[in-house]
Amino acid sequence: MSKRKSTERASLGAISDGYAGDGGELHQYAQGTHPALKTNQGLSVSDNQNSLRANLHGPSLLEDFILREKINHFDHERIPERIVHARGTGAHGYFELTHSLKAHTTAKILTELGERTPLFARISTVAGGSGSADTPRDVRGFAIKFYTRQGNWDLVGNNIPVFFIQDAIKFPDLVHAIKMEPDRGFPQAATAHDTFWDFISLTPESMHMVMWIMSDRTLPRSLRMIEGFGIHSFRLINAEGQSTFVKFHWRPALGLQSTLWDEACKIAGADPDFHRRDLFEAIRAGGFPEWEFSVQLFTQEQADQFPFDHLDATKLIPEELVPLLPIGRLVLDRWPDNFFAETEQIAFCPSHLVPGIDFSNDPLLQGRLFSYLDTQLSRLGSVNFHQLPVNMPHCPFANQQRDGHMQMSVPRGRVAYEPSTLESDSAREVFSTGFQSAEISECGDKGRLRASSFADHYSQARLFYLSQTDYEQAHIASALVFELSKVEHLHVRQAMVGHLRHIDEELARRVADGLGFMELPVPPLAEPVRDYAPSSALQIIGKMKRSLEGRCVGMLVASGSDAAAVDALSLAVREAGASIRIVAVTVGLVPLSNDFLLKVDGQLAGTPSAIFDAVAIVLAEDAAERLAQDVAALDFVRDAMAHLKALAVDGGGLRLLRMAGVELDAGVVAIDNIPGFIAMAKTRQWAREKTLRFLA
């Protein structure tokens, strides 16, 4: 290997001679004689960390047979369930453009003001199987298929703007590490195990993503309350052939909101379909979920001035550096008629573009362009998967591709090639309006390369952590302690704490204390860590809307509950934009103080307070005495307090709280103080948390 390539490779975190790191020592592999890594044809592999690229910043090459064999095998590992993103929920809707980007692109979906483009959205977890619960700590996929007048455009991203790895050749290893361990078949939908953290400890480029997944971003309250990101840089191309880089963002109209870890665990037990049910009920009730669509636009000249490489998928562009420009909105307004035919059979591919949009040389994106199409061929069993109704373009389309398994159309005529002269209506290329790639000059030495501009693995991880509120930092530290406490191998736990020292010494100390370390491990060698100005745009609490719109309040009642209080509070909750659900010991009807029979929505033992955003306890004194003998009632109020929710209580409700050993605070409001309760219910009672649980 030449000195130049050796230097470049040392900056990557590539694995060499039994160690991994930025040219330095992280921790040694398990001792032993390791066989050479080889392809399925017996060819020794010299570099399993970097795909073959045209040059340092160039595109990945189709000739990379090692990349294609590895990803091809990975794509075909599961039939028919998706290997990742198996647990998904989808809905139909539309996109409406409110600001034209005609100066930057010829894509009509981004230039024609007021036009409503039909779409299908699928939001999913990553790690779990199709039968796993909705609420684990996990990234959420955020994929949109736009049925535009120029063809289908698939924008396939996540609810997090960065990813674990910089190069697609590492994706099979990442997913194998994050999934159930192959010798035991568990844990399901969880990262708290050795193989995941072993891989992460050897992959310092993942540290930014680790901060995001350990944050409350991966514990969403609702699919209606998450952001979406295209992750990669793409290009927009205008009528003159000029290109502009773009990053895509979705922002929920209801604002961000997450659950607490204990809350998410209890929701999974009470309702494994919590997020799917929430989206279904919102659409059925006419509370159509909505997102604002924004872009970050920047030129190559601007990108050259960034203190990071925008082609590195483990990096984001801070909004303070390139502000977001809102250009439209997405609305989900129709549930699928058939879950399998639509939500399961929809096939997203990042390679599905329309004229006016093009790819960048991001090496993770370059690999995805091959992988997604290959996966659909395996999962749906046919090159004709585009003929399934949910995948079919809404505009006319024609080409000379014929036959194949599950061919559902009946092509006519004798011409199945191009060019031809035998039929006047045979499809032909259209240079003026057809898709054209950006004219970009590429030169340099090809090789398995990664630019030194990809070598800073900690600065943005530090930016993210320091941008969080004190509460959110405590949640990140506590999540790391929980996850790493499940890791059996001490050297993996030590290596991870060593990484954390580059992000923040206090964070590393908090995690080390939680793991019982007597001293901090030595950090690995690394590139100098930059200090960025903290960004409130990276928070959840700071961006959370103080609102009850789209939320749900649970009201615990029993025979003899005050009818006037029930009516008044129910009316106020609905006027605030929330729904209300009545909980009682039994389902059916419960008689109130005026003998009115109130319909019960949920039985107490099966409807815990974890599934609500706030709760009210309206009980007669004797009913409170009886309910105090029921552990489900005690858990209902204790969990509401533990999950930092506002509570409205009358005399009986207050008695139940006292018998449950609950200490009152400002978040517990008298039932007749309706404005006070509504104000408190619009957010969590964050100051309460430090009095209730130990946090790292």
Residue 310, amino acid: H
Q: Compute the distance between CA of residue 352 and CA of residue 119 in angstroms, rounded to an integer.
A: 14
- pLDDT for 79 equals 59
462 labelled as ligand-binding? no
600 near 586, Cβ under 8 Å? yes
In the chain the first and final C-alpha atoms are separated, in Å, by 46
Catalytic residue from among 158, 159, 361, 391: 158
Helix (H), strand (E) counts: the chain: 18, 22
Residue 341, amino acid: A
- pLDDT for 30 equals 57
- 630 by DSSP, 3-state: which? coil
Q: Is 502 a catalytic residue?
A: no
What ranges do the domains of the chain cover? 455-538, 552-691
Q: Which of 190, 310, 308, 195 is nearest to 244 (CA)?
A: 310
What is the CATH code for 552-691?
3.40.50.880
- pLDDT for 12 equals 40
Q: Estimate to the nearest angstrom the gap between the alpha carbon of 430 and the chain centroid.
A: 38
Q: Which of 261, 364, 369, 244 is nearest to 315 (CA)?
A: 364
417 labelled as ligand-binding? no
List 555's β-bridge partners, or say none: 582, 616
Cα dihedral across residues 152, 158, 162, 168: positive or negative: negative
- pLDDT for 22 equals 40
What is the CATH code for 455-538?
1.20.1370.20
pLDDT, averaged in runs of 10, over the chain (696 residues): 41 41 45 81 88 93 90 80 92 98 97 96 96 97 97 97 98 96 95 98 98 98 98 97 97 97 97 98 97 98 98 98 98 97 95 95 96 91 91 89 88 89 87 87 92 97 98 98 98 98 98 97 96 96 93 98 97 97 97 96 97 98 96 98 98 97 96 97 95 90
Domains 455-538 and 552-691 share a fold: no
379 labelled as ligand-binding? yes
Q: Compute the distance between CA of residue 482 and CA of residue 478 in angstroms, rounded to an integer.
A: 6
- pLDDT for 486 equals 98
Q: Compute the distance between CA of residue 191 and CA of residue 482 in angstroms, rounded to an integer.
A: 10
555 near 338, Cβ under 8 Å? no
How many CA atoms does the CB half-sphere of 641 hold within 13 Å? 24
Cα dihedral across residues 74, 75, 77, 78: positive or negative: positive
Q: Is 361 a catalytic residue?
A: no
Catalytic residue from among 85, 92, 249, 475: 85
Q: Compute the distance between CA of residue 574 and CA of residue 568 in angstroms, rounded to an integer.
A: 10
Q: Which two tokens stand for residue 274?
A: 């919590």
